[in-house]
Structure 1
Amino acid sequence: MPDPFDPKLDPQATITPGDGGASTLATSEGESLEKEPPPGGADGKPRSLWSDAWHDLRRNPVFLVSGLVILFLVLIAIRPGLIASGNPLSCNLAKAGQGSQPGHPFGFDTQGCDVYTRTVYGARASIAVGVCATTGAALLGSVLGGLAGFFGSWWDGMLSRVADIFFGIPIILGGLVFLSVVTSGSVWPVVGFIVLLGWPQISRIARGSVVTAKQHDYVQAARALGAGSGRMLLRHIAPNAVAPVIVVATIALGTYIALEATLSFLGVGLKPPTVSWGIDISNASTQIRNAPHMLLWPAGALSVTVLAFIMLGDAVRDALDPKLR
């Protein structure tokens, strides 16, 4: 009986190396992989977290709109004379409460001051308070929280208890008590108060980020290779733990601007002759029925500013959050 598996019976059935569907599929897959561009940027290198985030932010309309608004606000805060040629402290009581006039599109307030000029110049104090307070709170909170998360032990416990004390202070009540004894009406007492009550929130975010980053393999490898605590903290942990702090600080900046306006409205924040949106809103609150334009423009500028920073923070959070990728 002939062997059915004898290749002599069917020469075309001879199996040679490289034949078959698996070999053909592997060859086609290899060719397709060669045609695909390498992951990462145009140079073939993988993008870092920051370059990847910037790549997403440039295509986010929320970031572009809020960034342009903030850029405009910062510009007029630095050089208000670019769009307002008048003096915010120059007033004419004969025009008190009057509406829009040629050269004075926003009308006049109760003292006869130009509302447009005061609205433009009010951006300087509000932006200065927001930026300085956010910078101070972010630096103080990041340093204290980062050290607590890295070293742990009694330092972590002590910082947590101190932060709990500050969390228990109502921020408006604390501002009324703290700033009521300050006679200066400049921005620095308000900045100091906001930093005093704002650092605990950022410190907890920084602590959690450092604790998470400390468990990663690259940190353990650096420790095994003999890297010191300072090198690990500054070189390996801090760059990978700072993203949540940036997100929280960006959102908090808009909140701090609103807080400054609230404290100025209550009479314990900025004081005349400093020009502030909170002061103008406070002065216009009694004339809202007779002259609503006095309240509309500074309140609108404040709302747009706070909204722009909050939108910017949301866009940055979406770009830096790896869970959303």
Structure 2
Amino acid sequence: MTERLRVAVLAGGPSAEHEVSLQSAQAVLDALPRDLYEPFPIIVDRLGRWPLELRPETADVVFPVMHGPFGEDGVIQGHLETLGIPYVGCGVLASAVGMDKVAMRRAFIAEGIPVTEHVWFTGREWRVTMDPWDLVKSLDWPMYVKPANLGSSIGVSRVGSVEELRVAVELALTYDRVVVVEQGVRARELVCGVLGDHDRPETSVPGELMVPGDWLDYEAKYLSTAEIALIPVELPERVEEEVRELSVRAYQAIGGYGVARVDFLYERATGRLYVLEINTMPGFTSRSVYARTWQASGVPYPDLLRRLIDLALARSTS
């Protein structure tokens, strides 16, 4: 009998997305085939304390199902690099760029990838400005205000006035020192999964997020029992091809490896596609849009996990 690989499923951490991470980790632990793997959880608490010291003797590969700062931004990836332990997902640079909405958009713009109009500013710039409108006057209402380094819709607000802008920016600044304000677009929200190495990634069938109101907030994503996605979604052939092409370009623009989910806005009036963001460690919960796009593409969840682990091991030996 072949010896099973020890897979450390790393979750938690001092991020606002701590609870989402725990849900993702449990789904991974439940689905990993026991004939191939010996999975065990490592839950980092909200203060950043580890329950055990991770060493090459402890695990053959790490599945870092951590979302947000300290887990998805290159910090954990750098730590695992120093330990010399193979790990699932993007490396240090791609994780950092994918997490930072300012750096991410700079990478996309440099590669000619379409993004919505946006501005960004630091907390200090916000405090010293005499008129908040001066910071966003290149945009029109409505706008979306977001912390530059966070996910799962935490700290995100839709605003339609200067007063709402003030409240939204103060909220975003409780999560990060940099705020991004994006132009609102009347659009359908599409998603596409990416799987593979940097040079030859594969793309899943696209899906569509079912937005109950103006946007898909944290409660709708993780607390509601309502359906949140239509997978697969019927699109004009040209649009589906463009979604897949832009997904690969976005993935390669940040130096992606292993796994990513690319989110799009499909503008209703013009038919234009905008890349909203790339998520280098999407949710792996039972409702995960990423896993469901691959299920619809003929890759069941356990097989998806196996392919991700194989990619992690391949990178470590290349």
Class of the TM-score when normalised by the shorter of the 2 chains: under 0.3
Q: What TM-score do you get using the length of structure 1 for normalisation?
A: 0.26
Higher Rg: 1
Q: Which has the higher strand share?
A: 2
Q: What TM-score do you get using the length of structure 2 for normalisation?
A: 0.26
Q: Which has the higher helix share?
A: 1
